[in-house]
Amino acid sequence: MSMSSAGPSHQILKHVHGSIGSSRWLMGSLAMLFLVISACEPVGAPTPIGALPSERQLDWHKLQYYAFIHFGPNTFTDVEWGQGSEDPQVFNPTEFDARQWARVIKAAGMEGVIITAKHHDGFALWPSAFSTHTVRESAWKEGQGDVLRELADACEEFGLKLGVYLSPWDRNHPKYGTDEYNNVFKSMLTEVLTGYGDIFEVWFDGANGEGPDGRKQEYDFPGFAAVVREHQPNAVIFSDAGPDIRWVGNERGYAAETNWSTLNVSEFFPGIGGVNDQLQHGHEDGEAWLPTEVNTSIRPGWFYHADQDDKVKSLDRLIDNWYSSVGRNGNFLLNIPVDARGLIHENDEERLLELKAYLDEAFAENLAPAGNLVATHTRSFRFLESFVVDDDLDTYWASKDDALEASLGVEFNSPTAVNTILLQEYIPLGQRVTGFVVRVLQGDEWTEVASGTTIGNRRIVRWPTVEADAISVELKGKAALTIANLELYKVPER
Ligand code: FUL
């Protein structure tokens, strides 16, 4: 490979590459020298900056893609927002099979499922002792069924995480709009958090409309969160304002390219309107760590409607949503409306499996580890550039404190077709990168192929395929840079 051309990144690579001698003796001596020099340097980790993720948030950041299920009386009455006055007998799936859901969700490569245990109509998918509008009052299994129980069992069998959506807005409950309702809601929450095993996420919708007789309710969100913390301390809580995970500000399935995991949360509350743009981007230097979850539906509606059977999103659209969520510092929550039989519809299943096949092919081979990793410099031997390809997110490359710009590169042994990079910061120390430029070396020429702003937990960028001799990423940040993972792929071009 020719390494003689001009260009800043190239000089960087050349410099670093050139320091790796050919003889073993030289290599050994250099390594010794490196260790001695490194031992004289401060080798500590960079100082954390700004808001930091909690342990439960870090666990959540390891996820990527999971299912949302909207199911309830609306599935049978063909509406999106039930009135709450529906006869509970309408809820009567004819072929209900939670194992089919779990099988499809698992085969789709998803890691878990969040179900509407109670939507705005107030109908509970479990036989709650605090309501008379539940599966117990339905025609299904003559009132003996429990959707949550069957789903929890199926999740355990198939190795899926279970989450619950409980709408505080309740258009049925007789106590809604009175002081007692917040306690009713906490009791119902307690039932689902104590009776169905581990819950990984609790999803609070911000909608706050009128209940029976036009009554309004002020929700005790801090009290609801306290119930979650008491019974499921590892579960993350989602809402417009967290406290753990934030809405991404749209339901189309897109995070913004600039996406800070931090937000000035004291200005926010669940159900706040008119801040979608801020939710989409977050706030640089925001006061709390509050990363984005990107929710959208595989169909136009959240609930099943037979006339949408031919309106399942295209594979290209789902691929775009996947890159625009998982690849833009978010997790992807894709809704699959279970149908009136109580099954995931064949059309949705087919599309989910197509997406899985695409992702399997696209990410089958990480091209980075086979190359030679280089960097403008490393902080010390505890933060080597090779740590970005070691499959361990707890080890990372870091720059020195005074180096707010640095480059990482991969030199291939022979020209390699590449069109995608995946980057991950070491987020336990905060989100630091403010900009990056990706360049490829072809012969003597360095060409910019991609650029971006934030990285955070995970950023994926694609460009038209090039045969590259080497690739470099120039990074800029607001404090010493940390990169825990760098992957390179040739994904199918569509
Ligand atoms: C919204 C709700 O009003 C919709 O019905 C749906 O559940 C969606 C995911 O959240 O706020």
What is the mean predicted confidence (pLDDT) over 297-317?
A: 98
d(CA 328, CA 280): 11
Domain limits at 102?
A: 55-362
**Residue 246 forms part of a structural domain:** yes
Beta strands in 211-298 (DSSP E): 236-239, 245-247, 262-263, 288-289, 292-297
pLDDT at 70: 98
Distance 247 CA to ligand 1 centre (A): 11
What pLDDT does residue 236 have?
98
pLDDT of residue 466: 98
Give the residue-averaged pLDDT of 97-104.
Answer: 99
For ligand 1, atom 9: residue with the closest CA: 302
Name the percent of the chain in helix, strand, coil, to the closest 5.
30, 25, 45
**Within a domain: 40:** no
On whether residue 406 sits in a domain, the answer given is yes
The strand pair at 201-203 and 262-263 is best described as unpaired
Decide whether any atom of ligand 1 lies within 6 Å of the 205 Cβ.
yes
Residues 6 or more apart whose Cβ sits within 8 Å of residue 162? 112, 113, 114, 115, 151, 152, 155, 196, 197, 198, 199, 200
Residue environment code for 96-125, b if the CB has 16+ CB neighbours within 10 A, otherwise e: bbbebbbbbbbebbbbbbbbbbbbbbbbbb
Ligand 1 mutation target, pool 302, 333, 334, 335, most atoms within 8 A of CB: 302
Percentage of the chain lying above the pLDDT 70 cut = 91
209 CB less than 6 Å from ligand 1? no
Of 344, 362, 380, which residue is a domain's last?
362
Which residue's CA is minimally distant from atom 3 of ligand 1? 207
Please give the average per-residue pLDDT across 213-235, as a whole number. Answer: 95
Same domain, 344 and 429: no
Q: What average pLDDT does the segment 196-204 reach? A: 98
Judged against a pLDDT cut of 70, whether residue 21 lies above it is answered with no
Phi, psi of 201 (to 5 degrees): -150, 140
In this predicted structure, the answer to whether residue 174 has a pLDDT above a threshold of 80 is yes
Same-domain check for residues 214 and 85: yes
Which residue has the least CA distance to atom 8 on ligand 1?
302
What count of residues does the chain have? 494
Judge whether 349 lies within some domain.
yes
Beta bridge partners of 408: 375, 473
Based on the fold, state whether residues 350 and 409 are members of the same structural domain. Answer: no
> Could you tell me if 380 and 307 lie in one domain?
no
Measured over the CA atoms of residue 178, residue 182, residue 185 and residue 187, the dihedral's sign is negative
334 forms bridges with which residues in the sheet?
67, 296
What distance in angstroms lies between residue 238's CA and the mean position of ligand 1's atoms? 13
CA 197 – ligand 1 centroid, Å: 25
Assign 212 a pLDDT band (cuts: 50, 70, 90).
confident
Structural domain contains residue 48 = no
Q: Residue 213 — very low, low, confident or very high, per pLDDT cuts 50/70/90?
A: confident
CA–centroid distance, 225 to ligand 1, in Å, is 19
Domain contains 3: no
Q: How many domains does the chain have?
A: 2
Please tell me the distance between residue 333's alpha carbon and the centre of ligand 1 in angstroms.
13
Of residues 212 and 303, more confidence is placed in 303
The CATH number of the domain holding residue 87 is 3.20.20.80
Residues 92 and 165 in one domain: yes
- 329, 362, 395 - which closes a domain: 362
Tell me the C-alpha distance between 153 and 197, whole Å.
9
The residue contributing the CA closest to ligand 1 atom 4 is 302
With a cut of 90, say whether residue 171 has pLDDT above it. Answer: yes
**Is residue 340 domain-shared with residue 449, that is, in the same domain?**
no
CATH number of the domain bearing residue 475: 2.60.120.260
Ligand 1: distance of its center to the CA of 479 in Å?
39
Residue closest by Cα to atom 1 of ligand 1? 205
pLDDT of residue 141: 98
Verify that 338 and 385 share a domain, yes or no: no
Query: What residues contact residue 269 under an 8 Å CB cut-off, 6+ apart?
Result: 206, 221, 240, 241
Q: Note the pLDDT tens digit of each residue in 449-480.
A: 999 999 999 999 999 999 999 999 999 999 99
How far is the centre of ligand 1, averaged over its atoms, from the C-alpha of 295 (Å)?
A: 10
Q: Which amino acid is at 336?
A: I
Q: Are residues 303 and 335 in the same domain?
A: yes
What's the CA-to-centroid distance between 250 and ligand 1, angstroms?
A: 11
**pLDDT tens for residues 343-379?**
999 999 999 999 999 999 999 999 999 999 999 999 9
Amino acid residing at 289: W
* CA–CA dist 299, 492 (Å, integer): 25
Q: How far is the CA of 296 from the centre of ligand 1 (A)?
A: 10
User: What's residue 25's pLDDT?
Assistant: 40
Pocket probe mutation, ligand 1, options 204, 205, 240, max atoms within 8 Å of Cβ: 205
How far lies 175's CA from each of 1, 132, 165, 180, 212, in Å?
Answer: 74, 12, 20, 6, 9
Question: Atom of ligand 1 at shortest distance to CA of 116?
Answer: 7
395 and 346 share one domain: no
Average pLDDT, the chain: 93
Residue 265 lies in a domain: yes
Whether 17 has a pLDDT exceeding 70, the answer reads: no
CA of 45 to the centre of ligand 1 (A): 42
Pair 257, 328: CB distance under 8 Å: yes
Task: For residues 234 and 197, give the distance between their C-alpha atoms in angstroms, rounded to a whole number.
Answer: 12
Last residue of a domain, one of 362, 396, 425: 362
Is 134 within the bounds of a domain?
yes
302 lines ligand 1 (CB under 6 A): yes
Report which ligand 1 atom has the smallest distance to the Cα of 68: 9
Interval 385-432: pLDDT, tens: 999 999 999 999 999 998 999 999 999 999 999 999 999 999 999 999
Q: Is the CB of 240 inside a 6 Å radius of any atom of ligand 1?
A: no
Q: Mark whether 125 and 138 lie in a shared domain.
A: yes
Are 74 and 23 found together in one domain?
Answer: no
Could you give the count of Cα atoms lying within 13 Å of 419 in the half-sphere of its Cβ?
Answer: 13
Beta bridge partners of 289: 262
Whether 131 shows a pLDDT value over 80: the answer reads yes
Nearest-atom number in ligand 1 for the CA of 302 is 6
**Helices and strands of the chain, counted as H and E runs:** 11, 18
Same domain, 374 and 354: no
